[in-house]
Amino acid sequence: MAKPSDTTAHRRSRLGPLLVSPSLVLLAAVIGYPVVAALVTSFRADPSLKDGFFTTGGEFSGVSNYLHWLVQSCGGTSCPAGTLGDQFWTSVLVTLFFTVVTVSLEVLIGLLMAVVMNQAFAGRGLLRAVVLVPWAIPTAVTAKLWFFMFAYDGIINRALGAHILWTDGAWSSRVAVIIADVWKTTPFVALLLLADMSGIPGGLYEAARIDGASAFQSFLRITLPLVRPALLVAVVFRVLDVLRIYDLPAILTQGGGGDGHATTTLSILTVRQIQQGYGGASALSTLTFVLIFGVALALVRAFRVNLVQSEQHGMS
């Protein structure tokens, strides 16, 4: 005869899948089907479009769509700048450049802001509320706001006393995107770190002060190790966000600048390709997904090792 506890556990084990199944079905319909459909389309040629309807074409084409993006195929001749392969690798470099620079600046500035907001001073609550404003503004509004500020006769040039074409030059347009993105999303990093800093017992800092540790030493030996988990989460979130960035550079610089591709990220290139053919766009979106998934997997594995090592170091 089964024990009551065993019967209850058995019922719970059967109830769990039933409760989760509606969510799984919804995810399969909303996420699973589009992903599989895009993957299948990436191996087909682009169908002909007439009067708004697909007519002929769309046959299986193997990996030709992927080769168009990964390898410059111009019939044995040298490909001019701006061809498919050149556009893809340029957009990859631009996306990785934005990711490394913006995330690094956001972590450094956000950490400094969190340290300041964690101090006791008059108006601390007001400061924490004001910091939320850039993060609360929709990205499209932020991009348009900075577009006017970076105009030739805008506030930035007037303040600097300069005449810079921020959205036309290659590096100036990249700097404009970086500044706008850092301004908007640094508060997210700062508040995430502040939540962990607020939970650090004040007795730790008092003991360190009695032992003769300076404020900088207390930050390195107490604050930084204790907020490391939140810091790693912020890095992972922001890296994944920037790898698929679209709206900010698309509105601020139209993905151009300089040679016309200075701020063209993978997401912008994919949207442009959709207007030319679904097969090539599906292949490009699949390559983008593989890149983001690979980076996410590498970060999670690396940070998990670091967390385990830090925990072991703290226990020894």
CATH code of the domain covering residue 221: 1.10.3720.10
Q: Is residue 262 part of a domain?
A: yes
How would residue 81 be classed by pLDDT, with cut points 50, 70 and 90?
Answer: very low
Pairwise CA distance, residues 113 & 189, whole Å? 9
Q: In this prediction, what percent of the chain has a pLDDT beyond 90?
A: 18
Q: Is residue 274 part of a domain?
A: yes
272-291: average pLDDT: 84
Pairwise CA distance, residues 122 & 183, whole Å? 24
Pairwise CA distance, residues 76 & 73, whole Å? 7
How would residue 37 be classed by pLDDT, with cut points 50, 70 and 90?
Answer: confident
Whether 104 has a pLDDT exceeding 90, the answer reads: yes
Q: Is residue 31 part of a domain?
A: no
How would residue 76 be classed by pLDDT, with cut points 50, 70 and 90?
Answer: very low
Q: Is residue 25 part of a domain?
A: no
Q: Are 146 and 182 in contact (CB under 8 A)?
A: no
Over the stretch 231-244, which tens digit does the pLDDT of each residue have?
Answer: 888 898 899 999 98
189-198: average pLDDT: 88
Cβ count within 10 A of residue 262: 22
Q: Which has the minimum average pLDDT: 39-43, 47-51, 270-274?
A: 47-51
Burial annotation 26-62 (CB, 10 A radius, 16+ → b, else e)? eeeeeeeeeeeebeebbbbbbbeeeeeeeeeeeeebe
Q: Is residue 173 part of a domain?
A: yes
Helix (H) or strand (E) holding 196: helix 170-197
Which pLDDT does position 84 carry in this prediction? 52
How would residue 185 be classed by pLDDT, with cut points 50, 70 and 90?
Answer: very high
Q: Is residue 18 part of a domain?
A: no
148-167: average pLDDT: 87
Whether 8 has a pLDDT exceeding 70, the answer reads: no
Give the residue among 289, 261, 263, 258 at the shortest CA–CA distance from 143.
263
Give the total number of structural domains in the chain.
1
Q: Are 169 and 258 in contact (CB under 8 A)?
A: yes
Instruction: Look at 25 and 178; give whichever has higher pLDDT.
Output: 178
Q: Are 153 and 120 in contact (CB under 8 A)?
A: no
Which residues lie across from 60 on neighbouring strands?
44
Pairwise CA distance, residues 97 & 274, whole Å? 24
Which pLDDT does position 73 carry in this prediction? 46
Provide the token pair at 126.
Answer: 């007001």
Q: Is residue 74 part of a domain?
A: no
Whether 314 has a pLDDT exceeding 50, the answer reads: no
Name the residue range of residue 269's domain. Answer: 84-315
Pairwise CA distance, residues 174 & 171, whole Å? 5
What's the whole-model pTM score? 0.79
Over the stretch 106-135, which tens digit does the pLDDT of each residue have?
Answer: 999 999 998 888 887 777 778 888 888 888
Q: Is residue 207 part of a domain?
A: yes
Q: In this prediction, what percent of the chain has a pLDDT beyond 70?
A: 83
Whether 179 has a pLDDT exceeding 90, the answer reads: yes
**Long-range contacts (CB closer than 8 Å, 24 or more residues apart) made by 193-196:** 193/110, 193/111, 193/114, 193/227, 193/230, 193/231, 193/234, 194/113, 194/114, 194/117, 194/118, 194/128, 195/230, 196/226, 196/227, 196/229, 196/230
